[in-house]
Amino acid sequence: MTVARNRVVSIEYTLTGEDGAVLDTSRGDEPISYVHGSGTLVDALEAAMEGKGPKDTVSLTLPPDQAYGVRDDSIVFTLPRAQFGAGEEPEIGMQIMLQGDGDGRVVTVVAMDENEVTVDGNHPLAGLTLTFDVEIIDVREATAEEIEHGHAHDGHSEHEH
C-alpha cells in the first residue's frame, strides 16, 4: 500500500538545520503515525511522500516559506505577568495556549521580568531552512474516526509539529 490521502502513515524521521545539527528525531523511539492529508506535516513533505511505500525514503530540504514559515516579528509581544495565575508560573521555553476570538494560538515564552512576559507566536522552527530525512515504515487505511479526528489512534500519533 502506498502513501495517499486518508491513509495512516508510520514514519521515522530526522530533522536537521542548515548546519547539519539534529533539531528533532523519532529514531530510537517508536515511529510516528499520522493521517496523510490532514495537515500534520508540512505540505511539501507530504507531496514528496505521496505514492511511496514501506521502506521508501524521502530526503527534502525546504526553505522557511515551504517549511514552518518566515519569522514574523509582529507576533512577538508582551503580556502582563499578573495575567498568569499563582499556579501558572511562566518559564522561558514554556508553550502556552492563548485564547482569543474563537481560536487559540500557541505561543512560546521567550523572556520575562517581574512585570512582563514576552511571548513569540512564531512556530519554533520558523525562519529556518530544514532538511527532512524520512523513512516510511508502514501505510494502512485510516478508520472513519481517524479521518474525522485528523490523527492516528494507534497510540503514537504525531502532535502538531
pLDDT tens-digit series, residues 7-42: 999 999 999 999 999 999 999 999 999 999 998 899
- The correct CATH number of 73-120 out of 2.40.10.330, 1.25.40.10, 2.40.100.10, 3.40.50.300 is 2.40.10.330
Residue 60 is predicted with a pLDDT of: 97
pLDDT tens-digit series, residues 84-103: 777 778 899 999 888 766 67
Residue 161: pLDDT band with limits 50, 70, 90: very low
Exposure string (b/e) for 5-35, b if CB count within 10 Å is 16 or more?
eebbbbbbbbbbeeeeeeeeebeeeebbbbb
Residue 110 is predicted with a pLDDT of: 95
Residue 105: pLDDT band with limits 50, 70, 90: confident
Q: Out of 20-29, 121-130, 150-159, which region has the weakest mean confidence (pLDDT)?
A: 150-159
Confirm if 36 and 45 have CB atoms less than 8 A apart: no
Q: Is the sign of the CA dihedral 120, 71, 35, 56 positive or negative?
A: negative
Fold entry, domain 7-68+125-149: Chitinase A; domain 3 (3.10.50)
pLDDT of residue 77 exceeding 60, the answer is: yes
Q: How many residues in the chain? A: 161
Q: For CATH 2.40.10.330, list the domain ranges present in the chain.
A: 73-120
Q: For CATH 3.10.50.40, list the domain ranges present in the chain.
A: 7-68+125-149
Look up the pTM and report it. 0.79
Confirm if 123 and 34 have CB atoms less than 8 A apart: no
